[in-house]
Amino acid sequence: MIGLKCSFMVSGEKICYLLDALHDKKICVYDLKFEKKGVKITLDYKDCGKFFAICSRLCYNVKRTGYKGFGAPLKFIVEKWGVAVGILAFFAFSFFFDGIIVGVRYGGEGEELAPVVESVLKEENAFVFGTLDDKKAKEAESKITLSSERVKFASVSRSGHWLVVDVRLASPKPIPLDIKQERILSPADGIVGKIVCLSGMPLVKEGDEVKKGDVLIDGRYVHGEKEGVTYALGEAMILNPVEYVYFGVGEESKISSRARTLAITEFGDGFFVDSVTFEEIDGKTACVVKGKKPVYTY
Protein backbone atom coordinates (compact mmCIF):
# COMPACT_ATOMS: atom_id res chain seq x y z
CA MET A 1 0.00 0.00 0.00
CA ILE A 2 1.67 3.20 -1.22
CA GLY A 3 2.74 5.65 1.49
CA LEU A 4 1.89 3.26 4.35
CA LYS A 5 4.35 2.53 7.14
CA CYS A 6 4.02 0.23 10.15
CA SER A 7 5.35 0.89 13.64
CA PHE A 8 6.42 -1.90 16.02
CA MET A 9 7.77 -2.40 19.52
CA VAL A 10 10.45 -5.16 19.50
CA SER A 11 11.86 -6.72 22.67
CA GLY A 12 14.38 -9.50 23.26
CA GLU A 13 18.09 -10.12 23.69
CA LYS A 14 20.77 -8.63 21.43
CA ILE A 15 18.55 -6.26 19.43
CA CYS A 16 21.66 -5.34 17.43
CA TYR A 17 21.32 -8.64 15.55
CA LEU A 18 17.93 -7.45 14.31
CA LEU A 19 19.37 -4.22 12.96
CA ASP A 20 22.15 -6.12 11.19
CA ALA A 21 19.63 -8.48 9.61
CA LEU A 22 17.46 -5.60 8.41
CA HIS A 23 20.53 -3.95 6.90
CA ASP A 24 21.51 -7.17 5.11
CA LYS A 25 17.99 -7.46 3.64
CA LYS A 26 18.13 -3.80 2.56
CA ILE A 27 15.04 -2.95 4.64
CA CYS A 28 14.77 0.78 5.28
CA VAL A 29 14.24 1.69 8.96
CA TYR A 30 12.48 4.89 10.13
CA ASP A 31 12.02 6.48 13.59
CA LEU A 32 14.35 4.12 15.43
CA LYS A 33 14.12 4.69 19.19
CA PHE A 34 15.59 2.61 22.02
CA GLU A 35 13.55 2.26 25.25
CA LYS A 36 13.71 0.17 28.41
CA LYS A 37 11.17 -2.30 27.03
CA GLY A 38 12.94 -2.65 23.72
CA VAL A 39 13.19 -0.69 20.52
CA LYS A 40 10.54 1.22 18.57
CA ILE A 41 10.91 0.81 14.87
CA THR A 42 8.99 1.93 11.77
CA LEU A 43 9.18 0.15 8.39
CA ASP A 44 7.56 0.35 4.98
CA TYR A 45 4.41 -1.77 4.84
CA LYS A 46 5.83 -3.78 1.92
CA ASP A 47 8.73 -4.98 4.11
CA CYS A 48 6.57 -6.32 6.95
CA GLY A 49 6.69 -9.90 5.66
CA LYS A 50 10.49 -9.99 5.68
CA PHE A 51 10.56 -8.24 9.07
CA PHE A 52 8.31 -10.85 10.72
CA ALA A 53 10.40 -13.69 9.25
CA ILE A 54 13.59 -12.21 10.74
CA CYS A 55 11.98 -11.63 14.18
CA SER A 56 10.62 -15.18 14.24
CA ARG A 57 14.02 -16.65 13.42
CA LEU A 58 15.77 -14.56 16.10
CA CYS A 59 12.99 -15.20 18.71
CA TYR A 60 12.04 -11.54 19.28
CA ASN A 61 8.71 -10.39 20.77
CA VAL A 62 6.94 -8.06 18.35
CA LYS A 63 3.94 -5.83 18.97
CA ARG A 64 2.49 -3.60 16.29
CA THR A 65 1.76 -0.11 17.66
CA GLY A 66 0.14 1.56 14.67
CA TYR A 67 0.34 2.87 11.15
CA LYS A 68 1.82 6.03 9.66
CA GLY A 69 1.76 7.76 6.32
CA PHE A 70 -0.88 8.67 3.74
CA GLY A 71 -2.41 5.19 3.71
CA ALA A 72 -2.92 4.96 7.48
CA PRO A 73 -6.60 6.13 7.49
CA LEU A 74 -7.52 3.65 4.75
CA LYS A 75 -5.77 0.82 6.58
CA PHE A 76 -7.66 1.71 9.75
CA ILE A 77 -10.98 1.51 7.89
CA VAL A 78 -10.08 -1.87 6.39
CA GLU A 79 -9.06 -3.42 9.73
CA LYS A 80 -11.56 -1.61 11.98
CA TRP A 81 -14.51 -1.40 9.61
CA GLY A 82 -17.05 -1.70 12.44
CA VAL A 83 -15.57 1.26 14.29
CA ALA A 84 -15.25 3.22 11.06
CA VAL A 85 -18.88 2.56 10.13
CA GLY A 86 -19.94 3.70 13.61
CA ILE A 87 -17.96 6.93 13.29
CA LEU A 88 -19.37 7.60 9.81
CA ALA A 89 -22.90 6.84 11.05
CA PHE A 90 -22.47 9.24 13.96
CA PHE A 91 -21.40 12.09 11.68
CA ALA A 92 -24.17 11.26 9.21
CA PHE A 93 -26.76 11.27 12.01
CA SER A 94 -25.41 14.57 13.33
CA PHE A 95 -25.53 16.15 9.88
CA PHE A 96 -28.85 14.86 8.58
CA PHE A 97 -30.80 14.45 11.84
CA ASP A 98 -29.53 17.36 13.88
CA GLY A 99 -33.05 18.40 14.92
CA ILE A 100 -34.40 14.94 15.79
CA ILE A 101 -35.72 14.49 19.35
CA VAL A 102 -34.55 11.36 21.20
CA GLY A 103 -36.41 11.80 24.49
CA VAL A 104 -38.36 14.03 26.89
CA ARG A 105 -37.19 15.49 30.17
CA TYR A 106 -39.66 16.99 32.65
CA GLY A 107 -39.25 19.91 34.99
CA GLY A 108 -41.50 21.16 37.79
CA GLU A 109 -44.65 19.06 38.00
CA GLY A 110 -44.43 17.98 34.36
CA GLU A 111 -44.41 14.26 35.16
CA GLU A 112 -47.80 14.56 36.90
CA LEU A 113 -49.32 15.57 33.56
CA ALA A 114 -47.19 13.25 31.44
CA PRO A 115 -50.17 11.64 29.60
CA VAL A 116 -51.50 15.08 28.63
CA VAL A 117 -48.06 16.35 27.65
CA GLU A 118 -47.23 13.30 25.53
CA SER A 119 -50.55 13.47 23.67
CA VAL A 120 -50.01 17.14 22.86
CA LEU A 121 -46.43 16.55 21.71
CA LYS A 122 -47.43 13.61 19.51
CA GLU A 123 -50.14 15.72 17.91
CA GLU A 124 -47.53 18.38 17.11
CA ASN A 125 -45.08 15.69 15.87
CA ALA A 126 -42.70 16.95 18.53
CA PHE A 127 -42.34 13.68 20.42
CA VAL A 128 -39.51 11.09 20.16
CA PHE A 129 -38.02 11.08 16.62
CA GLY A 130 -39.99 14.21 15.81
CA THR A 131 -38.77 17.79 15.51
CA LEU A 132 -39.45 21.06 17.31
CA ASP A 133 -39.51 24.63 16.06
CA ASP A 134 -40.76 27.86 17.66
CA LYS A 135 -44.26 27.48 16.23
CA LYS A 136 -44.67 23.91 17.52
CA ALA A 137 -43.31 24.94 20.91
CA LYS A 138 -45.84 27.79 21.27
CA GLU A 139 -48.73 25.55 20.17
CA ALA A 140 -47.71 22.83 22.63
CA GLU A 141 -47.33 25.30 25.50
CA SER A 142 -50.81 26.72 24.80
CA LYS A 143 -52.48 23.30 24.66
CA ILE A 144 -50.78 22.07 27.83
CA THR A 145 -51.81 25.24 29.68
CA LEU A 146 -55.43 24.90 28.54
CA SER A 147 -55.58 21.20 29.37
CA SER A 148 -56.24 21.82 33.06
CA GLU A 149 -57.29 24.61 35.38
CA ARG A 150 -54.41 23.60 37.65
CA VAL A 151 -51.72 24.45 35.08
CA LYS A 152 -50.30 27.88 35.87
CA PHE A 153 -47.34 27.80 33.48
CA ALA A 154 -46.00 25.53 30.72
CA SER A 155 -42.75 25.77 28.78
CA VAL A 156 -41.58 23.56 25.90
CA SER A 157 -38.01 23.87 24.63
CA ARG A 158 -35.16 21.80 23.25
CA SER A 159 -31.77 21.07 24.77
CA GLY A 160 -29.60 19.24 22.25
CA HIS A 161 -31.61 16.22 21.12
CA TRP A 162 -33.82 16.30 24.23
CA LEU A 163 -37.22 17.94 24.61
CA VAL A 164 -37.55 19.81 27.91
CA VAL A 165 -41.08 20.30 29.28
CA ASP A 166 -41.50 22.46 32.38
CA VAL A 167 -44.98 22.60 33.94
CA ARG A 168 -45.98 24.53 37.07
CA LEU A 169 -49.26 23.83 38.86
CA ALA A 170 -51.29 26.26 40.90
CA SER A 171 -51.68 25.52 44.61
CA PRO A 172 -54.90 23.61 45.35
CA LYS A 173 -57.71 25.52 47.05
CA PRO A 174 -58.28 24.58 50.71
CA ILE A 175 -61.37 22.46 51.37
CA PRO A 176 -63.60 23.72 54.21
CA LEU A 177 -64.15 21.35 57.11
CA ASP A 178 -67.75 20.16 57.28
CA ILE A 179 -68.54 18.77 60.73
CA LYS A 180 -72.24 18.42 60.02
CA GLN A 181 -72.23 15.67 57.37
CA GLU A 182 -72.90 12.22 58.74
CA ARG A 183 -72.02 10.32 55.55
CA ILE A 184 -69.80 10.70 52.50
CA LEU A 185 -71.46 9.35 49.37
CA SER A 186 -70.02 8.20 46.08
CA PRO A 187 -70.31 11.03 43.50
CA ALA A 188 -70.33 8.64 40.51
CA ASP A 189 -70.35 5.03 39.34
CA GLY A 190 -66.94 3.41 39.19
CA ILE A 191 -64.12 1.86 41.16
CA VAL A 192 -62.69 3.20 44.42
CA GLY A 193 -59.22 4.50 43.55
CA LYS A 194 -58.45 6.00 46.94
CA ILE A 195 -60.15 6.39 50.28
CA VAL A 196 -58.82 8.16 53.38
CA CYS A 197 -60.98 8.14 56.50
CA LEU A 198 -60.21 10.71 59.23
CA SER A 199 -63.47 10.45 61.15
CA GLY A 200 -66.21 7.86 60.93
CA MET A 201 -66.08 4.33 59.51
CA PRO A 202 -65.05 3.43 55.93
CA LEU A 203 -67.49 1.03 54.31
CA VAL A 204 -65.46 0.39 51.15
CA LYS A 205 -61.82 -0.17 50.25
CA GLU A 206 -59.65 0.54 47.23
CA GLY A 207 -60.65 -1.57 44.25
CA ASP A 208 -64.33 -1.93 45.27
CA GLU A 209 -66.95 -1.19 42.66
CA VAL A 210 -69.57 1.38 43.72
CA LYS A 211 -72.65 3.11 42.34
CA LYS A 212 -73.47 6.77 42.57
CA GLY A 213 -74.98 7.48 46.02
CA ASP A 214 -73.38 4.51 47.80
CA VAL A 215 -72.06 5.30 51.28
CA LEU A 216 -68.28 5.46 51.33
CA ILE A 217 -67.67 6.76 54.87
CA ASP A 218 -70.33 6.52 57.55
CA GLY A 219 -70.42 8.76 60.63
CA ARG A 220 -72.02 6.01 62.66
CA TYR A 221 -69.66 3.85 64.66
CA VAL A 222 -69.76 1.05 67.20
CA HIS A 223 -67.72 1.25 70.40
CA GLY A 224 -68.11 -1.84 72.52
CA GLU A 225 -71.84 -2.39 72.83
CA LYS A 226 -72.69 1.22 72.15
CA GLU A 227 -73.46 2.78 68.79
CA GLY A 228 -72.63 6.43 68.29
CA VAL A 229 -72.75 9.07 65.59
CA THR A 230 -70.00 11.49 64.65
CA TYR A 231 -69.28 13.54 61.57
CA ALA A 232 -67.84 11.82 58.50
CA LEU A 233 -64.54 13.30 57.44
CA GLY A 234 -62.22 11.99 54.76
CA GLU A 235 -61.42 11.93 51.09
CA ALA A 236 -62.39 9.48 48.37
CA MET A 237 -61.57 9.22 44.70
CA ILE A 238 -63.76 7.26 42.31
CA LEU A 239 -62.49 6.15 38.90
CA ASN A 240 -65.50 6.85 36.72
CA PRO A 241 -65.56 5.06 33.30
CA VAL A 242 -66.11 7.58 30.48
CA GLU A 243 -65.67 7.72 26.74
CA TYR A 244 -65.03 10.45 24.19
CA VAL A 245 -66.22 10.17 20.59
CA TYR A 246 -64.40 12.09 17.89
CA PHE A 247 -65.19 12.28 14.17
CA GLY A 248 -62.12 13.31 12.16
CA VAL A 249 -60.71 13.19 8.66
CA GLY A 250 -57.19 12.08 7.74
CA GLU A 251 -54.72 9.42 8.79
CA GLU A 252 -55.84 7.16 11.63
CA SER A 253 -52.68 7.87 13.63
CA LYS A 254 -53.30 11.61 13.57
CA ILE A 255 -57.03 11.20 14.30
CA SER A 256 -56.34 8.94 17.30
CA SER A 257 -53.69 11.35 18.63
CA ARG A 258 -56.08 14.28 18.26
CA ALA A 259 -58.94 12.36 19.90
CA ARG A 260 -56.72 11.34 22.81
CA THR A 261 -55.66 14.95 23.40
CA LEU A 262 -59.23 16.25 23.27
CA ALA A 263 -60.40 13.52 25.65
CA ILE A 264 -57.72 14.40 28.18
CA THR A 265 -58.63 18.08 27.84
CA GLU A 266 -62.33 17.28 28.23
CA PHE A 267 -62.07 15.07 31.30
CA GLY A 268 -59.29 17.01 33.06
CA ASP A 269 -56.53 16.07 35.46
CA GLY A 270 -55.82 12.45 36.18
CA PHE A 271 -57.80 11.04 33.26
CA PHE A 272 -55.99 8.09 31.76
CA VAL A 273 -56.77 6.25 28.56
CA ASP A 274 -57.73 2.56 28.54
CA SER A 275 -58.25 2.15 24.80
CA VAL A 276 -58.53 4.02 21.51
CA THR A 277 -60.62 2.28 18.84
CA PHE A 278 -62.39 3.10 15.60
CA GLU A 279 -66.11 2.25 15.46
CA GLU A 280 -69.02 2.80 13.10
CA ILE A 281 -71.53 5.24 14.62
CA ASP A 282 -74.56 6.35 12.57
CA GLY A 283 -72.85 5.25 9.38
CA LYS A 284 -69.67 7.23 10.10
CA THR A 285 -66.28 6.11 11.36
CA ALA A 286 -65.58 7.55 14.78
CA CYS A 287 -62.54 7.41 17.04
CA VAL A 288 -63.69 6.32 20.51
CA VAL A 289 -61.42 7.00 23.48
CA LYS A 290 -62.33 5.04 26.61
CA GLY A 291 -60.79 5.63 29.99
CA LYS A 292 -61.36 6.52 33.62
CA LYS A 293 -61.92 9.97 35.02
CA PRO A 294 -61.10 10.55 38.70
CA VAL A 295 -63.98 12.09 40.67
CA TYR A 296 -63.22 13.34 44.18
CA THR A 297 -65.46 13.77 47.17
CA TYR A 298 -64.87 14.95 50.73
103-169 and 4-79 share a CATH fold: no
The pLDDT confidence band at residue 138, using thresholds 50, 70 and 90, is confident
Q: Where are the domains of the chain?
A: 4-79, 103-169, 183-231, 239-297
Q: Kind and range of the H or E element at 36?
A: none
Which CATH number does 4-79 carry?
3.30.70.240
285 contacts: CB under 8 Å, gap ≥ 6? 247, 278, 279
The pLDDT confidence band at residue 254, using thresholds 50, 70 and 90, is confident
Cα–Cα distance, 75 to 120 (Å, whole number): 50
* Structure-model confidence comparison of residues 96 and 39, the more confident one: 39
- b vs e for 11-27, b when ≥16 Cβ sit within 10 Å of the residue's Cβ? eeeebeebeebbeeeeb
Task: Give the lowest-confidence range in 76-85, 191-200, 258-267.
Answer: 76-85
- Label the pairing between strands 162-169 and 103-108: parallel
Q: What tens digit of pLDDT does each residue of 167-206 get?
A: 887 766 665 666 678 899 999 999 998 899 888 889 999 9
Cα–Cα distance, 13 to 22 (Å, whole number): 16
Considering the segment(s) 103-169 as one domain, its CATH architecture is: Roll (3.10)
Average pLDDT over residues 57-62: 79
pLDDT at 118 over 50: yes
Cα–Cα distance, 94 to 80 (Å, whole number): 21
